Amino acid sequence: MPEAYETITLERPQPHVLVVTLDRPQAANAMNTQMGHDLTAVFEPFQTDLQDVRCIVVTGRGDRAFCGGADLKERNGMSDADWQAQHGVYERMVRAMTACPLPTIAAVNGAAFGGGAEIAGACDFVYAASTARFGQPEVSLGIIPGAGATQNLARAMGERRAKEVILAGEAFTAEEAAQWGFVNRVCTPEALMAEVLKTAARIAANAPIAVRQAKQAISRGLQMSIWDGLSFEIEAYNRTVPTEDRREGILAFNEKRKPAFKGR
């Protein structure tokens, strides 16, 4: 993985944790075509190479915005063909994030509108600063959400709340997002990253194969009947049985010490 990108910054603040920062503060960290390419370049390789990462945090630079949505200045005057070509980049980006086998946490530090809210929604769960605001204003621009919101918001908030949010296009607060099931935890702005990194560290300290299999079982199982989901869960469970980590976990418990998981 390259360490330098035009629109994002990568940091490894603690073992096995990668922080991906959307880094266009002069434009409210808005999503432009290059950011779509950059995020795709970060997330797609995890399908075949975990790069010693066990948890990924996505946040925005500064305290004003997580991501203000698509860069409408870049889009101004685009032909239909150019618009659709750019959106193809965003589609690939959100699929790469959604398909990432590693746990992903959005640390929403400020405004998350349009595609910004969709980037957060593509993560496994969301912590937000109390000052953060969310919104899906696409219908006010003559389009609809196209990077997952109609699916992820409905799954997080329920059908009726998602329809209200998307069809009205009105902004909502971090507290409302938590009440409605989109945000897991609301933190003070000063404590946000510390809380996110604490959770990321706990995830990274657990058995990596087990964590990935649990994520798959939840994500895939929700698309199935309960009976198919139970069958999928057992298949995921059985992948953990012959691992070194399973044996280490039981041994460490009996020896009353912390396990040293290797991801094998």
248 classed as catalytic = no
138 classed as catalytic = yes
Strand, helix or coil for residue 177: helix
- Given the residues 118, 159, 248, 255, the one annotated as active site: 118
- Given the residues 3, 44, 138, 235, the one annotated as active site: 138
Pairwise CA distance, residues 40 & 237, whole Å? 30
DSSP secondary structure code for residue 70 in this structure: B
Cα–Cα distance list, 39 to 7, 45, 119, 144 (Å): 9, 11, 10, 22
The half-sphere exposure of 167 on its side-chain side, counting CA atoms within 13 A, is 7
Joined tokens for residue 100: 């990432």
DSSP E strands, the chain: 8-14, 17-22, 55-60, 65-67, 104-108, 111-113, 125-129, 133-135, 172-173, 185-187
Catalytic residues: 118, 138
